[in-house]
Amino acid sequence: MEKPRQGFAGMWNVSFGFFGIQIGFALQNANMSRIFQSLGEDIEKLPGLWVAAPLTGLLVQPIIGHMSDRTWLGRLGRRRPYFLAGALLATIALFLMPESPSIWFAAMMLWVLDASLNISMEPFRAFVGDMLRKDQHSIGYAVQTAFIGAGAVVGSLFPALMEAAGVANVAPPGQIPDTVRYAFWFGGLALFLAVLWTVVSTSEYTPAQMAAFEPANADDAPAGRALASRSHIGNVGWIAAGLAVILIQVEFALLREVLLLGTLLIGYGLASMIAIALARRGYEKNMLSSIVGDFAGMPPLMKRLAAVQFFSWSALFIMWINTTPIVAQYHFGTTDAASAVYQAAGNWVGELFAIYNGVAAVAALTLLPWLSRHLGQARTHMVGLTCGAIGFASFFLLRDPTQLIFSEIFIGIFWASVLAMPYAILASSLPQAKLGIYMGLFNIFVVIPQLLVATVMGSIMQAFFPGEPIYTMAFAALALMMALAAMARVDTASITQ
């Protein structure tokens, strides 16, 4: 039995909530470094403050994926309860963020905001797979990417639009400009209303209907069952690696954020040991054993795509953290976060982010489908990765702020590809019953590289390029070349075109 084919209106409703979610992410990505520096933080400490974003994703997404696969709340459905809960919490965080009286309050609100956005976002990835036929996955994720791009354009432009409306773009030292404050408030309202649209305009297939569309198979068995036969040797290795990282941090006096990386490695080793012990005692259906088991048993195609995601999102996180200080220092000639020139640079970064997201929205519906038909999904993504490397490398060559539009066009094509192609490739190859947990686990390879950037990049920059954030763009371009090499290993024969 096949799912009904969705028309344009159905695809619109399924993904429209992502328009609002991305407004929230865009406000966060374009303005958090600006907020932290406006509150008096040093540039070298920005990666450590940004660690909240990937850490919450690492913890939240697999849990929400696991839970949403097993949720059914009657008329509210499987994924939509998480859309609604996350949107409500994110809206509250967006309203409180610009009222931050201190750096640590802003950092705490970033934790709340990113966790809430992840609660809504992760089930949306699985929602497309739930609601669409496999032969519609490519166009479905392209439509979702278009909404992501459109929402990011709106979110990125909010501060500049506020300034154009006469709102003050400069604040006394230690305070956040009104342009940013009002942008977060309007963005919070837009986020909630967009997600609410998807919640009220869609109706999910019942568990019985989903079972009819795709009968259960061996892949649907509890993942924890396979853990009972696994050895603890690999987990001892994770713990040893974490201890080594902590010892290196102490020995070389690296930034304290590196301790978090070591702690996470130790934590994963211990969690895996506990999961194996529970499985051996017959408790293979608990959440921890299920998540660890599914992570250990990822399909080969998913593992290869995970390597591509790892390097791709390393580059993106570098961009989000460093673009504002780079543009302010090298294109506007200031490092004074309290100056009018710096705040003008911050608004220009918002406009640049709007450009790359606008390009992504258009490319998702035009360029990517055309390339996919002619080159296939894997080669299309390779083109996108190449465009991203060109965009990041061009920051070294361009000094006129308006010339950075050229960079953002290439980055926009890359952004469209990274949001659509890996998920379209993956969704068509996964069992429906585990689509939520696998999408959540796949997104681990979105957040792990961000954690590495947040914990390690500050130490690298402090040791080798102090006060020179432009060199982070070299790391971003190199990361995308590594992603391109990893993408070349994806088995195109196994991918539905």
The span from the CA of 233 to the CA of 227, in Å, is 13
Confidence at residue 380, expressed as pLDDT on a 0 to 100 scale: 92
364-400 in b/e burial notation, b at 16+ Cβ within 10 A?
Answer: bbebbbebbeeebbbbbbbbbbbbbbbbbbbbeeeee
CA 23-26-30 angle, to 5 degrees, is 145
Q: Look-up: residue for tokens 């998920």? A: 423
Helix (H, G, I), strand (E, B) or coil at 53: helix
pLDDT at 96: 93
**Helix ranges restricted to H, 70-136:** 80-96, 103-131
Q: Going residue by residue through the chain (497 aa), what tens digit of pLDDT does each one get?
A: 678 888 888 999 999 999 999 999 889 877 888 888 888 877 767 766 777 667 787 788 888 988 888 889 888 899 999 999 999 999 999 999 988 888 889 888 988 999 999 899 888 888 888 888 888 887 888 888 889 888 888 888 888 888 889 988 888 888 888 998 999 999 999 999 999 999 999 999 888 888 888 765 545 555 556 676 677 788 899 899 999 989 988 887 776 767 877 888 898 899 889 988 888 887 767 788 888 888 877 888 898 999 999 999 999 989 988 898 999 999 999 888 878 898 899 889 888 988 998 899 899 889 998 998 888 888 999 999 999 999 999 998 888 999 999 999 999 999 999 988 998 888 777 777 778 888 888 888 887 887 788 777 777 877 788 888 899 999 999 999 999 999 998 865 444 44
Expressed in percent and rounded to 5, the helix, strand and coil fractions of the chain are: 80, 0, 20
| pLDDT given at position 125 | 82
Residue with tokens 């406009």: 351
CB 486 within 8 A of CB 304: yes
Contact 189, 94 (CB under 8 A): no
> Which pair of structure tokens corresponds to residue 44?
């070298």
Q: Provide φ and ψ at 202, rounded to 5°.
A: -120, 155
CA distance 477 to 475: 6
CA dist 135 and 139 (Å) reads 9
CA atoms within a 13 Å half-sphere pointing along the CA-CB vector of 225: 6
* Vertex 425: Cα angle to 493 and 375 (nearest 5): 60
Q: How far apart are CA 143 and CA 146, in angstroms?
A: 5
Measured distance CA(167)–CA(428) in Å, rounded: 48
Euclidean distance between CA atoms 26 and 155, whole angstroms: 5
Rounded distance, CA 113 to CA 273, Å? Answer: 31
How far, in Å, CA of 158 to CA of 30, rounded?
10
Residue 152 has a pLDDT of 83
The DSSP secondary structure of 264-280, one letter per residue, reads HHHHHHHHHHHHHHHHH
Name the nearest CA neighbour of 359 among 125, 137, 152. Answer: 152
Amino acid at 53: A
| Number of Cβ within a 10 Å radius of residue 343 | 26
Say how far apart CA 423 and CA 400 lie, in whole Å. 36
Q: Return the number of other C-beta atoms located less than 10 Å from residue 112's C-beta.
A: 18
HEC letters along 134-194: HHHHHHHHHHHHHHHHHHHHHHHHHHHHHHHCCCCCCCCCCCCCHHHHHHHHHHHHHHHHH
CA distance 106 to 349: 20
First-to-last alpha carbon distance for the chain, in angstroms, is 21
DSSP states of 202-246: --PPPHHHHHHHS---GGGS-GGGGGGG--SHHHHHHHHHHHHHH
The answer to whether the Cα torsion of 192, 197, 198, 199 is positive or negative is positive
Token couple for 382: 């390779």
Q: Looking at residue 496, what is its pLDDT?
A: 43
Question: What's this model's pTM, rounded to 2 decimal places?
Answer: 0.78
